[in-house]
Amino acid sequence: MPNGDFNLNQKQVHENVYKGICQLCQQPVNVPFSYMGKTFSAIQDTRSTKAHVVSQRDGGKWSNGNIFEAHMYCNNLMVSVCDIEWVISTFFAAYTTIATLRAKLHEADTLYRKVQEALDGKRTVDAEILAVLKPVAHRILTDSQSNMVKRLTPNRRETIVRLAA
């Protein structure tokens, strides 16, 4: 997916799993936060970004198992470093561990796979899947002209709306 172009299902999976929390410093995104005794309030520091475990430059994909939510500031600390374990142990050890991050990545990847299996008729819809599909169906029904909705095939849109009903 070029340049962070998540589909609606992936975006909703991330909202359900990460809940607006930077996975590096464990503080809410899009609001002022403190890191290492300094408060950050500028939009270019606080805004939510999708951070890669393996960077695109190094062949990393835009997949739920490789992308997590982070503040722009926290993400920028990783820009020139390819070893996520070193980044966490060096910059974020007081906030999280690599095991915690990997568990969240696995949770996002697993939930996305469950949603895809439900959409393909290979799994029954449960509460966890429904929590992803309902907001997506709402977006399909209320914002049909958005690019994210238009990128879904008509058949996929119909399936999402039907399963979420």
Q: What is the pLDDT of residues 72-101, one digit of tens each?
A: 999 998 876 668 899 999 999 999 999 999
Per the document, the length of the chain is: 165
Residue indicated by tokens 């095991």: 99
Tell me what pLDDT residue 20 has: 97
Return d(Cα 75, Cα 90) in angstroms, integer.
Answer: 14
Taking 90 as the threshold, does the pLDDT of residue 35 lie above it? Answer: yes
Tell me what pLDDT residue 70 has: 96
| φ, ψ dihedrals at 121, nearest 5° | 75, 15
Q: Give span(s): CATH 1.10.30, the chain.
A: 2-109
Tell me what pLDDT residue 124 has: 96
Supply 146's token pair: 């958005």
How many C-beta atoms surround the C-beta of residue 120 within 10 A? 10
Evaluate whether 114 touches 108 at the Cβ level (below 8 Å): no
Residue indicated by tokens 């899009």: 30
Q: Out of 3.40.50, 1.10.3470, 1.10.30, 1.20.140, which CATH number does the structure's domain 2-109 have?
A: 1.10.30
Tell me what pLDDT residue 128 has: 97
